[in-house]
Structure 1
Amino acid sequence: MDLKPNFRPSFFFSFLIFFFFLQKPDLGSASNPKCISTERQALLTFKQSLTDPSGLLSSWSGLDCCKWRGVRCDRRTSHVIKIDLRNPNQTLRPYDYYGEFKKGGLGGKIDPSLTRLKYLSYLDLSSNDFNFLAIPEFIGRIVSLRYLNLSFTSLSGEVPPSFGNLSKLESLDLYAQTFSDDGLTAYTLHASNLGWLSGLSSSLTYLNLGFVNLSGASDTWVEDFSRLSKLKELHLYNSELNKLHLSFSLSSSANLKLLEVLDLSRNSFNSPIPNWLFDLTNLRKLYIQQVLLYSSIPSGFKKLKLLETLDLSDNTLGLEIPAVLGYLPRLKYLDLSVNSFRSQIHSFLDALSKNKENSLVSLDLSSNSMYGTLPESLGALRNLQILDLSDNSFTGPIPSSVGNMASLKELVLYTNMFSGAIPQSLGDISTLNKLILSFNKLEGRIPKRLKFKDPSIYAGNDLLCGKPLPKKCPRKQ
């Protein structure tokens, strides 16, 4: 007689599942996590340290903290993994800071109780007002963080070196522009030593230190940031940097080779464009606006074949605009306005017209010293939506080929020396909704086929109106 028990597989697995839940009664339902009591208490302590004029934390009561506004728990373990308490009115900044924006923000202090949330991976306190309190050192002890956003929070002092302990951190935003009752206040945060960045070298992909004063680290800043081998976006807008380190080389290192977005605008480099930039061959967006760049644009830009946006505006770059920029296959937005270019535009526009991959959408060359006529090749820019050549010294007629620019929305040519008749081919551009021709020597009327929501179309020094625009048009103020 066979006395061995005959368990069916289905019975055996059912028994294991039943036993598992007997041993883990606190996990709760996978779709309805229950707050862990110690983490709930940590959140309440954190709440008590804050001021909340708009009632953003009004839901922070009851036993289940996983249902509180801005709190997310892991569906399996119930641990708090995310706190998102960004100011809900942050899109109003800074224009309505004294109104709804300021009313919607939290204030007070950031309590160290957050360090008791051992599984917290996401913390966003952006656009709240902590009234220039020192940036908390203890945040560097929340080593589970992957995302940290303290931008626009009126925090001050030295960026804690303890942030280097956040070895899992993927995104760090400390953008420090802020507003006080006296108006714009900047440089409340500073970092005199960037050595702590090395602790983030294998994880960080996004870093924003805009308005963080880095002048104390200016001698080594390129080397410090080059340690971040995973970095894809680096924003150093208005960070008091004053050296571009022309002799630095990235060619022998894999660091920064993944960088796609670089913003160095509003610093004081007083330098030519450095060659190490051209080793960053994955760059898609490059902003070096208003940094006292001088000399010419190097041919090294031909190596940046993935570049989509290039802003070198408001510098003292000179000579001619090189044809190499016209051959960049993915370039969509090019801003070279407010520089010292003194040349004709033919070679650059001819390069654009010959580039079969040309995808340029916006071209701003305003406020330079460019001269000569516009070539007929202008009409080949069929993807261009915005063209601004204002405040230069262009002469001759506007080429009739402009009517072939089928995507053009804005044509701004004021303050030049264009002459001759206004091209009637402009009427062929059905997308055109802004046309400014003032302060030239043009004659005639605008094409009757053009229709605008705003009839502010200037030619010569006066507004010229043609049907179907109103018969009576306001004079230029």
Structure 2
Amino acid sequence: MDFKLNLKPSFFFFSFLIFIFLLSKPVLGSASNPKCISSERQALLTFKQSLTDPSARLSSWSGPDCCKWRGISCDPGTSHVIKIDLRNPNQTLRLYGGFKEGSLGGKINPSLTRLKFLSYLDLSSNDFNFMEIPEFIGSIVSLRYLNLSFSSFYGEVPASLGNLSKLESLDLYAQTFIDEGPTSYNLRASNLGWLSGLSSSLTYLNMGFVSLSGADETWLQDISRLPKLKELHLFNCELRNLPLSLSSSANLKLLEVLDLSRNSLRSPIPNWLFDLTGLRKLTLQWVELQGSIPSEIKKLRLLETLDLSFNALSGEIPDVLGNLPQLKYLDLSHSSLEGQIHRLLDALSKNKGDGLVYLGLNSNSLNGTLPAESLGELRNLQILDFSLNYFTGSIPSSVGNMASLKKLALHFNSMEGKIPESLGKLDRLETLDLSSNKFSGAIPQSLAAISSLHTLNLSYNKLEGRIPKNPKFKDPSIYIGNELLCGKPLPKKCSRKQQTVVVN
């Protein structure tokens, strides 16, 4: 029997293509192409040889495939090294000195410049023993992320960093936990003009603890040339100058986070701040601000955190602060603010946002009574600190409606009346300090129902009765000064004015 196949030419053409494709595929089980480029592997080994590594963190840096080494990442398509992350894994041990055991040190070898595709370099929280930041880092022009924070560098920040035109994040935070060192300000920048080279890319800048005293007259002008900047951290930089106006060419419209804390600015709050309408966090703590808080602050509608604590601000607190819909953290403590807070709390209680979590107004000259209705509406508030003021009147029973409250501090005021039993409803309360007031009557036994309460101070009042039994309390006792005098019940011989309830 004669069979004839009627096959079209296209069949043979496609069959041929499939055959060629199969030939080009590697045989299953054969070795894949090497991941690491040999020249880049050698550059990394040279870099390693210049470092000290007491904890052997770089012990994996051997073998042919550098892409598998600890802290190294490669592009999956090209195999080029794109990331070096050698941050100290013991960062949580900084305060106790344990982080030093895991610190890299020694020298930073210029071989890093041979990594032409390196976009991420993190050497933070190591110990480079007060060496200068190498100039050649400014030659790694592929960098998008550079973190040299907490690593004990010293000297002038190299202007060559301005060559990193692709850089998006620069962290030079210079605080160190090494005891030995040349000065308290190890890094300095006498001129910030080099920042203009980063104008097309930089979104994050942290130069905390870098002395900017030499650039004090122009620092704001230089930084305002970074139109893409979203976060600026200049904590404790020896700044003495806060301009009250910005030039028309300044462009910080995208700024979301601004921290100028711990500088001696000695200035009113400048109006140009209120043009930064994208701000989510504004921290001007301990900068010697003077004058009042302008009502123009209402323009910062996206503000979530406002910290103006430890300043010399005066006048009344503007109630427009309560109208900021996103505000969650408000700290105006340790200043000279005065007046009543009824209108502020009324506005905060009617805020349609998620609600305030932290309210610190302590250590001012505020007075009047606490508004009952609005205070009870702050149901998301976790910290309320009104201590060291001149508040009078009683604690509103509506405080018991503040279901999220963890800390209530009203000590050192002139408040009076009975402590409301409604405090027993605060089942998340951890700290209650009502000391140094004029409260009288019995100690509420409802406090025993608060299982989370571990710190209770009712000292220097006119209270009577027994201390409530609470499983968290470890044998609370009555103290006069530092001398143990009597036990749990309040006997008549204990002076009501000096009575102290101490709970560990």
The two structures have a TM-score, normalised by structure 1, of 0.92
2:285 touches 2:311 (CA, 8 Å); kept in 1? yes
1:178 touches 1:186 (CA, 8 Å); kept in 2? no
Equivalent residue, structure 2, for 1:360: 356
1:441 touches 1:460 (CA, 8 Å); kept in 2? no
2:292 touches 2:313 (CA, 8 Å); kept in 1? yes
Report the Cα distance in structure 1 between the residues aligned to 2:285 and 2:320, rounded to whole angstroms.
20
Equivalent residue, structure 1, for 2:270: 274
1:434 touches 1:452 (CA, 8 Å); kept in 2? no
1:465 aligns with 2:459: no
Superposed CA offset, 1:63-84 (max 9, x none): 1111111111111111111111
Q: How much does 1:453 deviate?
A: 4.5
1:168-179 aligned within 5 A: 168-179=166-177
Report the Cα distance in structure 2 between the residues aligned to 1:120 and 1:302, rounded to whole angstroms.
44
Report the Cα distance in structure 1 between the residues aligned to 2:137 and 2:18, rounded to whole angstroms.
44
1:168-317 aligned within 5 A: 168-182=166-180, 186-249=184-247, 255-317=251-313
- Cα distance change, pair 303–87 in 1 and its aligned pair in 2 (3 A): same
1:300-339 aligned within 5 A: 300-339=296-335
Q: How much does 1:447 deviate?
A: 3.9
- CA-based RMSD of the aligned residues comes to 2.5
1:474 aligns with 2:473: no
In structure 2, the gaps of 5 or more residues are 1-6, 483-504
- Cα distance change, pair 34–471 in 1 and its aligned pair in 2 (3 A): closer
1:400-411 aligned within 5 A: 400-411=397-408
1:178 touches 1:185 (CA, 8 Å); kept in 2? no
Report the Cα distance in structure 2 between the residues aligned to 1:355 and 1:422, rounded to whole angstroms.
28
2:400 touches 2:426 (CA, 8 Å); kept in 1? yes
- Counterpart residue type for residue 419 of structure 1: E
Superposed CA offset, 1:17-38 (max 9, x none): 96699xxxxxx84xx8521111
Report the Cα distance in structure 1 between the residues aligned to 2:237 and 2:353, rounded to whole angstroms.
36
Q: How much does 1:108 deviate?
A: 0.4
Report the Cα distance in structure 1 between the residues aligned to 2:21 and 2:129, rounded to whole angstroms.
55
SS at match of 1:178: coil
Report the Cα distance in structure 1 between the residues aligned to 2:90 and 2:314, rounded to whole angstroms.
43
SS at match of 2:363: coil
- Cα distance change, pair 342–61 in 1 and its aligned pair in 2 (3 A): same
SS at match of 1:179: coil
Report the Cα distance in structure 2 between the residues aligned to 1:374 and 1:4, rounded to whole angstroms.
93
In structure 1, the gaps of 5 or more residues are 22-27
Superposed CA offset, 1:43-91 (max 9, x none): 1110111111000111111111111111111111111111111111012
1:60 touches 1:69 (CA, 8 Å); kept in 2? yes
SS at match of 2:47: helix
Equivalent residue, structure 2, for 1:451: 450
Equivalent residue, structure 1, for 2:78: 77
- Counterpart residue type for residue 272 of structure 1: P
Report the Cα distance in structure 1 between the residues aligned to 2:315 and 2:381, rounded to whole angstroms.
24
Q: How much does 1:399 deviate?
A: 1.2
2:345 touches 2:375 (CA, 8 Å); kept in 1? yes
2:451 touches 2:470 (CA, 8 Å); kept in 1? no
Structure having the higher Rg: 2
* Percent identity of equivalent pairs: 67
Superposed CA offset, 1:154-183 (max 9, x none): 111111111111111111100001133348
SS at match of 2:392: strand
Equivalent residue, structure 1, for 2:488: none
Report the Cα distance in structure 1 between the residues aligned to 2:119 and 2:105, rounded to whole angstroms.
22
Q: How much does 1:9 deviate?
A: 4.2
2:417 touches 2:439 (CA, 8 Å); kept in 1? yes
Report the Cα distance in structure 2 between the residues aligned to 1:335 and 1:426, rounded to whole angstroms.
24
1:122-141 aligned within 5 A: 122-141=120-139
- Cα distance change, pair 278–20 in 1 and its aligned pair in 2 (3 A): farther
Structure 1 residues 36-45 or 442-451, which shifts more? Answer: 442-451
Report the Cα distance in structure 2 between the residues aligned to 1:156 and 1:179, rounded to whole angstroms.
14
1:142 aligns with 2:144: no
Report the Cα distance in structure 1 between the residues aligned to 2:8 and 2:400, rounded to whole angstroms.
95
1:23-62 aligned within 5 A: 29=32, 34-62=35-63
2:427 touches 2:452 (CA, 8 Å); kept in 1? no
Report the Cα distance in structure 2 between the residues aligned to 1:160 and 1:72, rounded to whole angstroms.
27
- Cα distance change, pair 14–162 in 1 and its aligned pair in 2 (3 A): farther
